[in-house]
Structure 1
Amino acid sequence: MFKNRIDAGRRLADVIDDHDVEADVVLAIPRGGLPVGRAVADGLGVPLDIVSARKLGAPWNPELAIGAVASDGTVWLNESLIGEVGVGNAYIEEQIEREREAAEGKVERYRGDRPPLELRGKTVLVVDDGIATGATTIACVRQVKNAGADRVIVAVPVAPPATVERLYDEADEVICVETPPYFAAVGQFYDSFQQVTDEEARTYLRADEADGGGESDQE
């Protein structure tokens, strides 16, 4: 479906433009969302920053998201799943604190000394390379709303229809290039889906970058 993340970002920017969205800021979810976000920000002519959240995994299966927490401590919990599997409050609180620190550390590592962009009163695009369950995306959307954004739009190259519907409960709009009904993982929709390194991730945030850094063609 997509050659690589830069290709996906450019195609996403075209779809966003077709929706007549006048965005003020693009916030990418690192690391995989950064090359996509860079292409979107460049295509729309708006600044790029990051927003980070971490999944809260179940005790016996870290990949099963019982919730997520953003770097500012904003939390989303899957209450129905928590009740179904019987996860205790002590475990949840421990996970929230640990994963919040990890999300905060990621922001500091990639943003460095740059101050965060002002979001109050702005139309903000939250961008990733794709969404599976939407847990971390929901936490990110809530953080952006808490920061005073006037409108929050989730924009991604690919996500399953059920996840898109779930995100409409949180975001003002969801823009998705493709919504395939058969969805196993985000990477299946990319010809090249190599991991984004920390150094590469930082290059996408440099204010003078005009085309997603020098490594985009190697993805």
Structure 2
Amino acid sequence: MGEIIDNPRLREQRFVFSDRHDAGKQLGAFIRTLPAIRDPLVLAIPAGGVPVGKEVALALGAPLSLAIVRKIRIPGTTESGFGAVTWDGQVLINEELRDALGLSATDVDHAIAETRKNVGDRVTRFTGTRAVPEPAGKTVILTDDGLASGFTMLSAIQSVRHKNPARIIVAVPTASATSAGLVSRHVDQLVCLNIRSSRMFAVADAYAAWYDLDDREVLEELAGVP
């Protein structure tokens, strides 16, 4: 199990960040107080993780790229998922949830195929012809704007793990206590400023200003990034 590092002064608090950029700046400054990270590479999960990851990368003087992950949506819903597909085609299924939903093999295959296409479209839209930097031998820092269930982050971790990084660190502004414990078991270190144990946990509750970023805003965030 990886080490969990949080800020005790922010435990259980709500509305501790003004917005995602503020959260990323605070997170980057906090990481700089920890032992130096060798050869870091920041991979941000779009959309909300991009402004956070951008600020962390700036604080560490590290390159920034994307870890594009999409939920495999439960048929008939717009938000809930029973798995995820990553930028390199890896698929992670929540087997327990799939069984509980009674999804057929046809339902699952169709949902995966639809999600793969969506991921491919987003990779083209956000990265163009730029290749994702090679994680091998680097300290990969995966960022998002928070961890609710943690399942999307687990999918990203699985993909990075196959590429032989020296270390994997998850760095997020906020997380539920449950997801922090779950995700930390799969990485070398989890850094989270604001951990909350509320049963009604919502990532948005850590932010005074919260809204969903659209693709245009993600591209604007990435403009000018080397």
**TM-score in terms of structure 2 length:** 0.85
Determine the C-alpha separation between the residues in 2 that align with 1:21 and 1:131.
24
Q: Does 1:203 find its partner at 2:216? A: no
Determine the C-alpha separation between the residues in 2 that align with 1:205 and 1:112.
12
- Considering Cα pairs closer than 8 Å and 6+ residues apart, tell me whether 1 or 2 has the greater RCO: 2
User: Any idea what SS the aligned residue of 1:144 has?
Assistant: helix
Determine the C-alpha separation between the residues in 1 that align with 2:79 and 2:216.
26
Q: Does 1:11 find its partner at 2:26? A: yes
Determine the C-alpha separation between the residues in 2 that align with 1:21 and 1:137.
23
User: Is the Cα–Cα contact under 8 Å of residues 145 and 203 in structure 2 kept in the other structure?
Assistant: yes
Determine the C-alpha separation between the residues in 2 that align with 1:169 and 1:208.
32
- Unpaired runs of 5+ in structure 1? 210-219
Structure 1 runs (4+) greater than 4 angstroms displaced = none
Give the letter for the 1:190 counterpart. Answer: Y
The residue aligned with 1:184 is 201
Let me know the Cα RMSD of the aligned residues.
Answer: 1.8
Equivalences for 1:31-110 in 2 at 5 Å? 31-110=47-126
Give the letter for the 2:17 counterpart. Answer: F
Determine the C-alpha separation between the residues in 2 that align with 1:197 and 1:80.
31
- Unpaired runs of 5+ in structure 2? 1-15
Shift in Å at residue 135 of structure 1? 1.6
Q: Does 1:114 find its partner at 2:130? A: yes
Shift in Å at residue 204 of structure 1? 2.9
Determine the C-alpha separation between the residues in 1 that align with 2:214 and 2:128.
16
User: Any idea what SS the aligned residue of 1:81 has?
Assistant: helix
1:184-207 deviation digits (Å, cap 9, x = unpaired): 321121111133232331233345
User: Any idea what SS the aligned residue of 1:133 has?
Assistant: coil
User: Is the Cα–Cα contact under 8 Å of residues 34 and 201 in structure 1 kept in the other structure?
Assistant: yes
Bigger mean CA deviation after superposition, 176-185 or 158-167: 176-185
May I ask how many residue pairs the two structures share in their alignment?
209
1:192/1:142 CA distance change after superposition, 3 Å:
same
User: Is the Cα–Cα contact under 8 Å of residues 52 and 104 in structure 1 kept in the other structure?
Assistant: no
**TM-score in terms of structure 1 length:** 0.87
Determine the C-alpha separation between the residues in 1 that align with 2:120 and 2:32.
31
The residue aligned with 2:156 is 140
Bigger mean CA deviation after superposition, 129-138 or 86-95: 86-95
